[in-house]
Amino acid sequence: MLRLFLLACFVVTAPVSATPTDTLRTRAERSDYRATSRHADVVGFVEVIDAEPGFHTTTFGTTVEGRALPLVVWGADAATPDAVRTTDKLRVLVFANIHAGEVAGKEAALMLLRELAVGEHAAWTDHLTLLVAPIYNADGNERIDPGNRPLQHGPVDGMGERTNAQGLDLNRDFVKLDAPESRAFVGVMNDYDPHVVIDLHTTNGTVHGYHLTYAPPLHPNTSASIDDLLREDWLPGVTEAFHASTGWDITYYGNDKPEWGQPRGWATFDPRPRFGTNYAGLRNRVGILSEAYSYATFRERVLATLGFVTETLDWAADHASEIRRAVTDAERSVVGDELWLRSARTWEASDEPLEILLGGVVVETNPHTGAPMWRRTDEQTPTPMTVYGRFRGEEIETAPAAYLVPDSLTTVLERLAAHGVRMHPLDAVADIPVETFRVESVRTAERPFQRRYERELFGRYQPEALAPSPDVLVVPVDQPLGRLAFSLLEPRSDSGLANWGFIEVEAGNVYPIRRVIDPEAAAALVR
């Protein structure tokens, strides 16, 4: 009955010879961009698109309040992981609405599906399989209020709120996975294994002259093959093509305010993998962040996002083999490599100032609330600025061959499994050389962040000979997710499970997870 009702909402006013363009109009379009799609609108849209050739739909999880999260697959024979992974095409995951006040990506994702349904982008058919998750934070989406996202230019009828129903920011949850939505989404990454992940947002902050800004993965342990591909070829190519097709300017994400003590400049955001595209980079996948400009009109934000995604996918289709090679290269073993432990406060500045377009706004009024809304003008002021767009990191450790995790750390093992990190039962108990981290002190945050008190462990590794207990699981670092395993399990990692309080250890004790440096010794444990 619900399905029939939702379908009726879309087809009742359509002409007898309705095309997908007639029936698949978003709520934003039907309201002249005064309103954004509700969860029922998205579900109804997806139900209709499922009947179109080449599309298959499923759900990938359920929210805190029980709403199903739709996933649309295009370019495969079915919506199952097996069907998608056996296409031998480049797999691209596009998702939107992780912050439910930032609704342009949701509408753009639906419009992209409609364009595919009417036969646009035929050149992608042989090269891409798309997975589209248009409404990630579905519970937050339903908390519509015109007062959400102050100063943003619409939609004037209101938009959702930033957090999920638990009050968690889902774009700070990609390590700890405290929300069911986060665990479901990472499950999509495990099961479907996309090569590329595109995350659609809206940004406020600095008044600039761009319609959209973007970012690659920022964690300094991201493979150079992915970072170089994005910064040297892909993103510059999209920037040029976007301007040619729209006349609008885009550039790297930034704000012209000092952060963490660096001088004023155009500074990007936090590099830690609690953010989705940074997390994708540590999984050896291409992550691309899209941030439509909050002070452009809602219509322009939607169209800018749609244009950016379209140009990004055009480039992907034309260079699918290069992207796959970059991903394959990123998956090589990192055992013995020097990797960064802490990265959040050490910037790399551009060699010389670069030209950034600052802009202007005029103040308008929301007709419902009387609250001010800022609308961008066409003003563009080229301003030389030092650009802080990379991070160097603060501490280095050599990636070991394996970690030994006691099976008593059930929550740690559950999180490792949720991330898709491979683990093996111990198959030998002979003495082997290991390194044990002795904790000298612990610093705990004074206030909670995302309902957890972050912790920093201080101490040092000491060598010892150990006959591992049979109640231990071996986590090899020589695996596709080796970079992520290192980040999750190192005691000093600013993105690790110890940082989030999953591992309780006090000063004077030893960190319960030991590491094996020698690859041969690690291999002997799981023979």
pLDDT digits (tens, 9 = 90+) for 294-318: 999 999 999 999 999 999 999 999 9
Whether residue 443 is found in the same domain as residue 513 = yes
pLDDT single digits (tens) 220-242: 999 999 999 999 999 999 999 99
pLDDT higher than 50, residue 10: no
Give the span between the Cα atoms of 301 and 284, in whole angstroms. 30
DSSP E strands, 30-127: 55-62, 68-74, 90-96
- Are the C-beta atoms of 405 and 473 separated by less than 8 Å? yes
Has residue 118 been placed in a domain?
Answer: yes
Q: How much is the pLDDT for 392?
A: 86
Whether residue 312 is found in the same domain as residue 452 = no
Whether residue 336 is found in the same domain as residue 212 = yes
Helices and strands (H, E) in the chain, number of each type: 16, 23
Has residue 384 been placed in a domain?
Answer: no
Give the CA distances from residue 420 to residues 186, 336, 432, 459, 510, in Å, rounded to whole numbers and listed in that order: 8, 22, 27, 29, 27
- At 111 the three-state DSSP class reads helix
Give the span between the Cα atoms of 388 and 394, in whole angstroms. 16
Give the span between the Cα atoms of 446 and 454, in whole angstroms. 9
pLDDT higher than 90, residue 260: no
Has residue 43 been placed in a domain?
Answer: yes
Whether residue 338 is found in the same domain as residue 405 = no
User: What's the gap between Cα 505 and its chain centre?
Assistant: 30
Whether residue 410 is found in the same domain as residue 321 = no
Q: How much is the pLDDT for 18?
A: 47
Q: How much is the pLDDT for 526?
A: 79
The DSSP call for residue 262 is: P
Whether residue 169 is found in the same domain as residue 35 = yes
With bands split at pLDDT 50, 70 and 90, how would you rate the model's confidence at 258? low
Instruction: Give percent of the chain above pLDDT 70.
Output: 94
Whether residue 297 is found in the same domain as residue 410 = no
Has residue 319 been placed in a domain?
Answer: yes
Range in 249-253, 345-349, 434-438 with the lowest mean pLDDT: 345-349
Quote the number of domains for the chain: 2
Residue 81 amino acid letter: P
Q: How much is the pLDDT for 14?
A: 34
pLDDT single digits (tens) 57-111: 999 999 999 999 999 999 999 999 999 999 999 999 999 999 999 999 999 999 9
* Final residue belonging to a domain, choices 297, 320, 342: 342
Q: How much is the pLDDT for 460?
A: 97
Whether residue 336 is found in the same domain as residue 408 = no
CATH code, 264: 3.40.630.10
CB atoms under 10 Å from CB of 89, counted, come to 21
Q: How much is the pLDDT for 344?
A: 66
pLDDT single digits (tens) 14-62: 333 345 666 799 999 999 999 999 999 999 999 999 999 999 999 999 9
Has residue 187 been placed in a domain?
Answer: yes
Structural domain including 89 reads 2-342
- At 324 the three-state DSSP class reads helix
* Final residue belonging to a domain, choices 342, 369, 390: 342
Give the span between the Cα atoms of 29 and 301, in whole angstroms. 13
Q: How much is the pLDDT for 1?
A: 31
pTM score: 0.94
Give the span between the Cα atoms of 343 and 45, in whole angstroms. 42
Across the range 444-452, mean pLDDT stands at: 96
Whether residue 433 is found in the same domain as residue 331 = no
Q: What b/e sequence results for 274-311 when a residue is b if at least 16 CB atoms lie within 10 Å of its CB, and e otherwise?
A: bbbbbbbbbbbbbbbbbbbbbbbbbbbbbbbbbbbbbb
Has residue 351 been placed in a domain?
Answer: no
8 vs 387: which has the higher pLDDT? 387
CB atoms under 10 Å from CB of 123, counted, come to 12
* Final residue belonging to a domain, choices 342, 357, 383: 342
Has residue 164 been placed in a domain?
Answer: yes
Could you tell me the two tokens for 42?
């998205």
Give the CA distances from residue 283 to residues 150, 251, 288, in Å, rounded to whole numbers and listed in that order: 35, 25, 13
Q: How much is the pLDDT for 422?
A: 97
Has residue 377 been placed in a domain?
Answer: no
Could you tell me the two tokens for 328?
């394959």
Whether residue 135 is found in the same domain as residue 257 = yes
Residue 365 burial class via C-beta count within 10 angstroms: exposed 0-12, middle 13-18, buried 19 and up:
exposed
Tell me the angle at which helices 410-419 and 482-489 cross, rounded to the nearest 10 degrees: 150
Whether residue 6 is found in the same domain as residue 151 = yes
Whether residue 336 is found in the same domain as residue 405 = no
Residue 155, preceding peptide bond in cis (omega within 30° of 0) = yes
With bands split at pLDDT 50, 70 and 90, how would you rate the model's confidence at 7? very low
The DSSP call for residue 383 is: E
Could you tell me the two tokens for 341?
């432990």
